[in-house]
A and B are shown apart, each in its own frame.
Chain A
Amino acid sequence: AQSVTQLGSHVSVSEGALVLLRCNYSSSVPPYLFWYVQYPNQGLQLLLKYTSAATLVKGINGFEAEFKKSETSFHLTKPSAHMSDAAEYFCAVRGNTPLVFGKGTRLSVIA
């Protein structure tokens, strides 16, 4: 079975500051890991995914995430936050089942 824990339901950062959204997972098989973003009143859009090819994954809009097996983590980062990054972010894991999503982290960016 797989599960995902996103630490912090709401994160607030200043424009230009580092963005760090935390995700820890559990999986009984080697996992595939995903980060999705959801803008208000829209569906989810894939930011990036881990497929075991490389532990540091770069995605769209300047986001990246690092897979750390020893810590069972897949935290999402962006060096400098932009106002347009304000959205809901979901971490998801897939092992031998369909995607299992975390509860999401709402990112607010303060001017």
Chain B
Amino acid sequence: GAGVSQSPSNKVTEKGKDVELRCDPISGHTALYWYRQRLGQGLEFLIYFQGNSAPDKSGLPSDRFSAERTGESVSTLTIQRTQQEDSAVYLCASSERQGGSYEQYFGPGTRLTVT
């Protein structure tokens, strides 16, 4: 079956512009996660969605970052007024449920470069 997909795979944008990153989770997965991976760093949790519950936004680094998810389908991560420090790979993952031993399945990521 299809895995987690993300688009675009690469995005180059000018400082100050807004960007939208898309994630298509595995069908039937109720939990969806966004992470940021800076060069040479581990994964930094940004936000997760679990079903129709309010998302956990505790990892969002600033109010320039926001994310939406419609039901249990596609999610969009939006970064407004991009800064050079936003340059990173943004990874999306989904799992059947949040918590416990449920495995997270990762997409290939979107590499964002802010010039």
Contacts and interface: CB of A to CB of B under 8 A. Distances in A.
A43 B108 contact: yes
A43 B41 contact: no
B91 A100 contact: no
Q: Size range of the interface on B?
A: 20 to 34
B4 interface: yes
A51 B101 contact: yes
Contact of A49 (B35, B40, B48, B103): B103
Given A32-B100, A32-B101, A98-B98, A43 B45 contact: no
A55 interface: no
Contacts of A34: 103
Contact of B104 (A9, A41, A99, A102): A99
A9 B42 CA distance: 10
Given A44-B106, A49-B103, A94-B99, A99 B45 contact: yes
Contact of B33 (A96, A98, A104): A98
Given A43-B4, A43-B107, A103 B101 contact: no
A25 interface: no
Interface string B41-56: 1110100100000001
A42 B108 contact: yes
Contact of B91 (A44, A46, A51): A44
A101 interface: yes
Nearest to B108: A43
17 contacts: A32-B100, A36-B106, A42-B108, A43-B107, A43-B109, A44-B43, A46-B104, A51-B101, A94-B100, A98-B45, A99-B43, A100-B45, A101-B42, A101-B43, A102-B42, A103-B42, A104-B41
**8 smallest A-B Cβ distances: which pairs?**
A43-B106, A103-B42, A51-B101, A101-B43, A44-B106, A101-B42, A43-B108, A32-B101
Interface of A: 9, 32, 34, 36, 41-46, 49, 51, 90, 92, 94, 96, 98-104
